[in-house]
Amino acid sequence: MNLEKILAISGKPGLYVLQVQTRTGFVAESLVDGKKITVNLKSNVSLLSEISIYTFEAEKPLSQIMQIIADKENKGQAISHKEDNATLIAYFKEILPDYDDERVYPSDIKKVLNWYNMLQSKGLLVDSVPAAVETEEVDSIVNETEVAAVDVPAKAKKVAKK
């Protein structure tokens, strides 16, 4: 999931897509109604790619949580964020059994599910290329380059006269 340009702005409902950066802030477009707003640098803005969920071992990036939800729901909608807290907690335990329930509140779970459903409805939940496939492609390109470099005969160097 590529969440690099998706923003959550404190005090504003929904999510925003970063459009243009300016001297005094940036312009963002709402995913809810499509309106563009200007946001100054003093606003509390979070990139979704920078958000993590606490687990007992370490923090888990939001993109991985979104991928787990997408896999569980076959890329469909998750349960509504308006469900009661007990239902939300039980659902989140299925997705991420080792999340730290003392530091992750029901309000956090509501945000994650609301964001997931919003991104899914807009078609912005795109699978990222798995690292293994990407590594294989890079290795094959490197091998082709090495073969091409071996096939080219080396030119004789000219020696400058003194």
Contact criterion met (CB below 8 Å) for 68 and 93: no
Main-chain dihedrals φ then ψ at residue 43, nearest 5 degrees: -70, 150
How wide is the angle at C-alpha 91 spanned by C-alphas 113 and 114, nearest 5°?
A: 10
Tens-of-pLDDT digits for all 162 residues of the chain? Answer: 588 999 999 989 899 999 999 899 999 999 999 999 999 988 999 999 999 999 999 999 999 999 999 999 888 899 999 999 999 999 999 999 999 999 999 999 999 999 999 999 988 877 654 444 444 444 444 444 444 444 555 555 666 666
Amino acid identity, position 43: S
Q: Is this model's pTM higher than 0.85 or not?
A: no
Residues near 5 by beta carbon (within 8 Å), at least 6 away in sequence? 17, 18, 47
Locus of tokens 């809810």: 32
DSSP state of 137: H
